[in-house]
Amino acid sequence: MSGRAYRGLSADERQADRRERLISAAYTLYASLGFPGTTIERLCSEARISNRAFYECFSGREELLQVVHERCIEEALGSVAKSVQEAPDTFLGRLEAGIAGYVGFVTQDRRRARIMHLEVRRAGDQPLLASRERTMSAFYKVIEDAPEGTAPVPSGVDPHLLSLAMLGALQELIVDWVLAEDPPEVEAVVGAAVHLLRRVFPASVLQPSEHA
Amino acid sequence: MSGRAYRGLSADERQADRRERLISAAYTLYASLGFPGTTIERLCSEARISNRAFYECFSGREELLQVVHERCIEEALGSVAKSVQEAPDTFLGRLEAGIAGYVGFVTQDRRRARIMHLEVRRAGDQPLLASRERTMSAFYKVIEDAPEGTAPVPSGVDPHLLSLAMLGALQELIVDWVLAEDPPEVEAVVGAAVHLLRRVFPASVLQPSEHA
DNA sequence: GCCAACCATTATGGACGCATGATCCTTTTT
DNA sequence: AAAAAGGATCATGCGTCCATAATGGTTGGC
């Protein structure tokens, strides 16, 4: 057995520590050099980890990206869920809180926004699309959990495509925020996104009830 | 002087022919292997052109992509302009014709859709963003050329961000059409996009006049 | 304090792509 | 038909990255 203490850490702890350092390094390098420019060697030197040890943590660059992306999504979902729970229990309230929560979360750290909305696409990796699907369904939930069972999706138009388009709109706004040399205010991004969704999903017009 | 006839073509014609073959090869390879996977050697072998001669046509891979992309945009603008001109002179009519024209054009050849909406982003090349700006402004024009000078952009929301978001929405729909293993009908894509824009730009509600 | 585990640093071999140079076949001119 | 231009095929030098192996310094157990 090769489970021995070292620098006060067990074998598993050391392994986990290296893994974590690699993830942290990836977090930074993806945002600065982009995913294609982030070589394994750079990752290792940034994380101060042996080139050899990388392969004991991940099978290759793609798996690392996958893990980083999933972590980002997990954190984002948590943050958004919290924002939504604290919001007033109206469709509009939940919607606005969800968007503001997500945009706020993602713009809080420029690296996050870049990884989640730019680098993921550049990879073209297959398993990443699965993660994307998860985000989609989470987004669906926010809409489908409208309070009194009103279906906010209009008829005659594929609701899946509509949600897809809304995600694309939001994504484009965030990408612009990331790439523009003179980025818009976060509030403006949120405002545009909220305005968009408010107009697209007609349930919002049924919602002045709570206000009066 | 080195301007001599060869295979019935002048020196300039031969040069132009090689250029064209490279562009055609790029058109195909970008869509199958993606831009990053499209090496110069592959391009040359596909175009049946000497590796050496490539650099007499383009300075490198990026310039070729640039040229291909600009050609795509040019053709798209032409096609959309024609569709819009033939449409009824109402805001809604122009809008619908523009969207249907663009989606129809871009989905007419799968390679086009992929190049214009996927590979361009993957390149991360700087001059490409300029071309993208041109597309943006063209899109603006369609909206700003509303017949009786009504400003369809709502107040309180940055119209630039709103247009950006709409482009993002449309782009996402097209990307989905390209990547999905079970792609939606083109009509459904057009329908979703039209529905979206109709709801977002309130000028559309001022437009039942022509119908009666 | 000595040995052994541990691990970052530093090579090594292989593959790939870019850019350029050399070779050889084809086409045109005379 | 011979000479010369044109261009594709093949070959080279260079750099980068991946993946693995050898090196050497550090830490923990005894």
pLDDT in tens, A139-184: 777 666 655 545 556 678 888 899 899 999 999 999 999 999 899 9
- pLDDT, residue A201, reads 77
- pLDDT, residue A144, reads 64
Q: How many CB atoms lie within 10 A of CB A12?
A: 9
- pLDDT, residue A211, reads 39
Kindly identify which residue of chain A lies nearest to residue B198, measuring between CA atoms. Answer: A200
DSSP assignment of B16-81: HHHHHHHHHHHHHHHHHHHHHH--HHHHHHHHT--HHHHHHH-SSHHHHHHHHHHHHHHHHHHHHH
Write down how long chain A is.
212
- Non-local (6+) Cβ contacts of A19 within 8 A are A57, A58
- Pick among A133, A196, A201, A205 to test the B interface (most B CBs inside 10 A): A196
Q: Give CA separation, B195 vs A120, A194, A199, in Å.
A: 29, 17, 11
Q: Say how far apart CA A38 and CA A62 lie, in whole Å.
A: 11
AA identity, residue A28: T
Q: Which residue pairs from A118-122 have beta carbons closer than 8 angstroms and sit at least 24 positions apart in sequence? A: A118/A34, A118/A175, A118/A178, A118/A179, A118/B121, A119/A30, A119/A31, A119/A34, A119/A35, A119/A65, A120/A65, A120/A69, A121/B118, A121/B121, A121/B122, A122/A34, A122/A35, A122/A36, A122/B121, A122/B122, A122/B124
Query: Is B37 at the interface with chain A, CB within 8 A?
Result: no
Query: Is A100 at the interface with chain B, CB within 8 A?
Result: no
Query: Is A187 at the interface with chain B, CB within 8 A?
Result: no
User: Please, which residues 47-86 of chain B have a Cβ atom closer than 8 Å to chain A?
Assistant: none
In terms of Cα–Cα distance, which of A32, A51, A33, A31 is closest to A41?
A51
- What is the 3-class SS of A160-204, one letter each residue? HHHHHHHHHHHHHHHHHHHHCCCCCCHHHHHHHHHHHHHHHCHHH
- pLDDT, residue A130, reads 80
Output the average pLDDT for chain A.
87
User: Please, which residues 127-166 of chain A have a Cβ atom closer than 8 Å to chain B?
Assistant: 129, 154, 156-158, 161-162, 164-166
In terms of Cα–Cα distance, which of B93, B125, B117 is closest to B194?
B93
- Protein residue with the closest CA to the C1' atom of nucleotide D8: B50
Tens-level pLDDT at each residue, chain B (212 residues): 557 899 999 999 999 999 999 999 999 999 999 999 999 999 999 999 999 999 999 999 999 999 999 999 999 999 999 999 999 988 778 888 999 999 999 999 999 999 999 998 888 777 787 877 877 787 777 666 655 545 556 678 888 899 899 999 999 999 999 999 899 999 999 999 999 988 887 654 444 444 33
Query: Is A183 at the interface with chain B, CB within 8 A?
Result: no
Q: Say yes or no for a CB contact (<8 Å) between B199 and A200.
A: yes
State the nucleotide closest to B7 in CA–C1' terms.
C27
Covered bases, chain C (protein CB within 7 Å): 5-11, 16-22, 27-29
Query: Lowest-confidence range among A11-15, A127-131, B62-66?
Result: A127-131
DSSP assignment of A52-79: HHHHHH-SSHHHHHHHHHHHHHHHHHHH
Residue B114 Cα, gap to closest chain A Cα (Å): 12
CB B70 within 8 A of CB B131: yes
Query: pLDDT band at A206, cuts 50/70/90?
Result: very low
Q: How many CB atoms lie within 10 A of CB A166?
A: 23
**CA/C1' separation B87–C3 (Å):** 87
- For helices A91-108 and A61-86, the axis angle rounded to 10 degrees is 140
User: Is strand C within 7 Å of residue A51 (CB)?
Assistant: yes
CB A29 within 8 A of CB A55: no
Q: Where are the alpha helices (DSSP H) in A87-185?
A: 91-108, 110-114, 120-123, 126-144, 159-179
State the nucleotide closest to B58 in CA–C1' terms.
C19
**CA/C1' separation B68–D18 (Å):** 32
Q: How many CB atoms lie within 10 A of CB A187?
A: 11
Please give the structure tokens belonging to residue B188.
């459904």
Q: Say how far apart CA A120 and CA A71 lie, in whole Å.
A: 13
